[in-house]
Amino acid sequence: MGVHRLRVAGVERLLIAAPDHAPSVAQVAGRGRVWGAMSALYALHGADSLGLGDYADLGAAASALAGLGADFIGVNPVHARGAAHGGISPYSPSSRIALEPGWIAPRAAPGFSACAAAQALLAEAAPGVSAARAGDFARHRARDAAAAPALRALYEAFDDADGAFAAWRAGLGPTLGAALEDFALFEALSLRLGEDWRAWPRGYATPDAPAARALARAHPDEPRYHLWLQWLADRQLAAAQARARGAGMALGLYLDLAVGVRPDGADVWANPQAFARGVSLGAPPDRLAPGGQVWALAPFSPQGLRAAAYAPFVAALRAAMRHAGLLRIDHVLGFARAYWAPESGAPGGYVAYPLEALLAITRIEAARAGCVVVGEDLGTVPEGFRRRLADSGLYGCSVMQFERSGGAFTPPRRYPAMAIASFGTHDTPTFRGWLRGRDIDWRQKIGDYDATAAAQAREGRAAEAEAFARLLRGEGLAAGGEGLAAEGEGLAAGGEGPSADGDGLAAGGEDALCDAAHRLLAGAPCALVALSLDDALGVVEQPNLPGTVDQHPNWRRRLPVAVEALATDPDLRRLAAILSEARPKGNAMSVKTVATQPIEGQKPGTSGLRAKTAVFMRPNYLENYVQATFDALGGVAGKTLALGGDGRYFAAEASQIILKMAAANGAARVIVGRGGLLSTPAASALIRKRKTDGGLILSASHNPGGPDGDFGVKYNIAAGGPAPEAITEAIHARTLSIT
């Protein structure tokens, strides 16, 4: 399984060996129908955050929602925007491989409790943070101004005494490792030379350019700092996924792969030959953006991708799936064709892409990560495209606002099973905003609509509202009043709510209407249903108004409820109960935390840890060492491991213990040798072939086994070989501090 270069008689061809299907919801979640919630990460905020959400808040929100029955929590992309970049859109990243350091929670970083300088810097920033917490909008720059000095102080005090940073670097593997090293160098250079690498001197044009390498040699601490930030971000995102899975979420984090990267950013700088120049990704005019869209994102070059054996695409997928149980691929139509808008302003057009190759690679990476994949397939889609997605095991999107035929809303009971259903997206009005026509108000305010066009749009929305009322009545949800049909304020020209005219919808029944919509969604055959936290918490304004940059406060609106209060919010609890009733969890695996204490003598060598079998069978001896190994690797949440051994005495029991611990720690997948048997060479070959994140081998080499013999556990890295000293030292250090 993988992408291979095949050379025969001097002719080279690419060979892509892929499974037929990506993992299904039933395979990963253990149930065929689940529900979850969606929010922007910046919109989440807690008592310890700096005015807007961070990775720690994400874990806290996941835990709260898991308690209400949710099986996933979705957020907008967590890609790196770039240290020198001033924009805040999560869909305009510098890199889709690196994570955004702006979501790091400084107080959750290693060493914070012992770093007086970092604590003092955050204390100095407290007044500004308090002001940011008090407003309705996320103040990204204020947050960065508070966090950056504290993180720098933490780095200056950092000594990697436990080897965790070194172990993380060693465990990344060549694909992600090299890409993140390039990204870290780009960050350091951009802070010296400016945001846009295209304006740098030629000596810095690529990661291997002479001046770029010279700076890396002369100032190694600069790129190392940015790599350290990537470690923190990766560590905290992994912790959020582990917390989500540990709290009972079957899928955990629902992450988002943006459609592209900025042409001035790190990914294009590192692999310029893989991207097209002089054009931007975009979209022709549609109802979301009447003037069309130019996204200022560099499209992949189909020829460049193939020449690189699709390596940049593989890296983006692998990074996105690393800590995700569920991944949304934005604008998946780009697998087949992408709209290129020339930077010159000339008319744009569609360019074909190698659909089958991109789908095959997606299936490969999803299988390796144990990740369910959703393809955002909204808009104008070629005939047969959705069938191709479903045949590959990718789920589509059924958005209630758009699911209409001939003016009538399609009942959710007719939605496809291979889909995620929701009322809207981050690009559409919230439920209450839709009822009130707030998107129309905004279009008129910013000049997209004149008075006549706005009046026509409001009339159209009134007709949609009436169609929605008919849907509810037709599905038996408007009987008995219940606030679903009323007279009153209307969305006539100049109004701010849906037109009622006797049988329509009124603003006074918004909660009941929202409940009814989600009751219908909950009963849909779709494998996945997503509840927007904006809708659950009564938010009117939408996160993003497509086709705008500064005319609308995009990517700034915070939730009205802190993460600590989510579990007790009555409106959220009511909607969660509706969804959970239709999509019960059933018998989920329980996760138990066991208190322990360090055990002397657990220092591994290159051949792992060896001891008498009777010693390994002592209470917590094996468990301590396995947990220490997982911890030294930065956690195994979302990772794929190999497991097997030479079949000696106690191997079967040890394998069961390790499997349970891997599941409890959030591992996506464990590939076990048949009957638990894998020789060390076979395990190494399996790790390399399946591109796992390493593996555990139960063997004591040629030492005799049996009740009175020897037993052993060793960890082999993603390259297939024995763990280097940095990792074994980190494991040993963790065995001395485990509790």
Supply the pLDDT for residue 504: 43
pLDDT for the residue numbered 345:
81
Residue that wins the pLDDT comparison between 514 and 13: 514
**What digits encode the pLDDT tens for the residues 700-725?**
988 999 999 999 999 999 999 999 99
pLDDT average, residue stretch 476-491: 46
Q: How confident is the model at residue 288 (pLDDT cuts 50, 70, 90)?
A: low
Q: Does residue 167 contact residue 727 with C-beta atoms inside 8 Å?
A: yes
For the chain, the maximum distance between any two Cα atoms, rounded to a whole number of angstroms, is 89
The 10 Å CB-count burial string (b at 16+, else e) for 45-73 is bbebbbbbbbbbbbbbbbbbbbebbbbbb
What is the structure's pLDDT at 10? 82
Residue 483 has pLDDT above 60, yes or no: no
At residue 218, φ and ψ (nearest 5 deg) are -75, -30
Mean pLDDT over residues 727-737, rounded?
Answer: 95
Nearest to 491 by CA among 468, 528, 466: 466
CA atoms of 616 and 658, how far apart (whole Å)? 13
Place of tokens 């917490």: 133
207, 215 Cβ separation under 8 angstroms: no
Q: Per-residue confidence at 487, pLDDT binned at 50, 70, 90?
A: very low
In DSSP terms, 340 is beta-bridged to: 281, 349
Q: pLDDT-based confidence at 503, cuts 50/70/90?
A: very low
Looking at residue 287, its pLDDT comes to 67
**Exposed, middle or buried by CB within 10 Å (0-12, 13-18, 19+), for 4?**
exposed
Phi, psi for 324 (deg, rounded to 5): -115, 135
Q: What percent of the chain has pLDDT over 90?
A: 76
Q: 293 forms bridges with which residues in the sheet? A: 283
Specify the pLDDT at position 482: 40
What pLDDT, on a 0 to 100 scale, did the predictor assign at position 664?
87
Amino acid at the residue 11: V
Residue 497: the pLDDT is 41
Look at residue 589 and tell me whether its pLDDT is greater than 90.
no
Cα dihedral sign, 517-259-4-175: negative
How much is the pLDDT for 493?
Answer: 35
**CB count in 10 Å sphere of residue 698:** 28
Amino acid at 435: L
Which residues, 6 or more positions from 141, have their beta carbon under 8 angstroms from its beta carbon?
none
The pLDDT, as a whole number, for residue 606 is 80
- What's the confidence (pLDDT) of residue 532? 98
CA neighbours within 13 Å on the CB side: how many for 345? 0
What one-letter code names the amino acid at 147?
A
Q: Is the pLDDT of residue 489 over 90?
A: no
Would the pLDDT of 486 be above 60?
no
> Contact at 8 Å (CB) between 609 and 720?
no
Using an 8 Å Cβ cutoff, are 108 and 119 in contact? no
Residue 290: which pLDDT band, with cuts at 50, 70 and 90?
low
The token pair at 305 is 């991708």
Cβ(170)–Cβ(726) below 8 Å: yes
Residue 669 and residue 641 in contact, taking contact as beta carbons nearer than 8 Å = yes
Q: Domain extents for the chain?
A: 419-560, 609-735
User: What is the structure's pLDDT at 538?
Assistant: 95
Q: What's the pLDDT at 488?
A: 32
| 209 CB burial (10 A radius; 0-12, 13-18, 19+) | middle
Q: Is the pLDDT of residue 507 over 50?
A: no
Strand order through the sheet with 252-257:
372-375, 326-329, 252-257, 72-74, 34-38, 528-532, 419-422, 396-399
pLDDT value of residue 587: 54
pLDDT in tens, 656-703: 999 999 988 888 789 999 888 999 999 999 999 888 999 999 999 889
Task: Return the SS3 of 317.
Answer: helix
Query: How wide is the angle at C-alpha 23 spanned by C-alphas 19 and 28, nearest 5°?
Result: 150
> Would you state the pLDDT for residue 736?
95
Determine which of 217-221, 375-379, 563-567, 655-659 has the lowest per-residue pLDDT on average.
Answer: 375-379
Q: Kindly list the distances between the CA atom of residue 614 and the CA atoms of 169, 618, 643, 649, in Å, as whole numbers in the listed order.
A: 35, 7, 21, 10
Helices (H), 4-54: 25-29
Give the length of the chain: 739
Quote the distance between the C-alpha of residue 638 and its chain's center.
11
Whole-Å CA distances, 116 to 104, 154, 567: 19, 9, 34
Give the range among 176-190, 406-420, 431-445 with minimum mean pLDDT.
Answer: 406-420
Q: Is the pLDDT of residue 540 over 60?
A: yes
Residue 558 to residue 569: CA distance in whole angstroms: 16
3 state DSSP class of 162: coil
Which pLDDT belongs to residue 135?
79
> Which pLDDT score, from 0 to 100, does residue 498 have?
39
What is the model's pLDDT at position 479? Answer: 39
Q: What is the spatial distance between Cα 604 and Cα 120, in angstroms, rounded to a whole number?
A: 39
Look at residue 65 in the predicted model and tell me its pLDDT.
Answer: 98
Q: Which two tokens stand for residue 147?
A: 């966090």
221 Cβ contact list (under 8 Å, min separation 6): none
CA dihedral (54, 33, 359, 720) positive or negative:
positive
**Are 569 and 101 in contact, with CB atoms under 8 Å apart?**
no
pLDDT above 60 for 154: yes
Rounded distance between C-alpha atoms, residue 683 and residue 676, angstroms: 11
Spatial contact of 430 and 534, defined as CB atoms under 8 Å apart? yes
- C-beta of residue 57 within 8 angstroms of C-beta of residue 563: yes
Q: Is 64 helix (H, G, I), strand (E, B) or coil?
A: helix
- 64, 66, 217, 371, 652 from 72: Cα distances, Å: 11, 8, 43, 12, 33
- CATH fourth-level superfamily of 609-735: Alpha-D-Glucose-1,6-Bisphosphate, subunit A, domain 3 (3.40.120.10)
Query: In 3-state terms, what secondary structure has residue 472?
Result: helix
- pLDDT higher than threshold 50 for residue 492: no
User: Model pTM?
Assistant: 0.77
Residue 372 tokens, joined: 């369910």
How far are the Cα atoms of 50, 64, 569 from residue 565, in angstroms, in the given order? 17, 9, 6
Please report, as a single letter, which amino acid is at residue 425: T
**Neighbour tally for 325: CB within 10 Å:** 31
If one counts every other C-beta atom within 10 angstroms of the C-beta of residue 660, the result is: 14
One-letter identity of residue 514: C
Note the pLDDT tens digit of each residue in 248-286.
999 999 999 999 999 999 999 999 999 999 999 988 877
Distance spanning both ends of the chain, measured CA to CA = 39
Inter-CA distances, 411 with 128, 211, 250, 429, Å: 48, 61, 27, 20
Handedness of CA 27, 29, 30, 32 (dihedral sign): negative
If pLDDT is split at 50, 70 and 90, which confidence band does 46 have? very high
Which residues lie across from 284 on neighbouring strands? none
Mean pLDDT value across residues 533-537: 97
Across 395-400, average pLDDT: 96
Q: Which residue has the tokens 């802190």?
A: 562
Q: Considering only CA atoms, which of 430, 372, 373 is closest in space to residue 399?
A: 430
pLDDT at residue 386 tops 80: yes
- Residue 490's pLDDT is 39
Amino acid sitting at position 464:
E
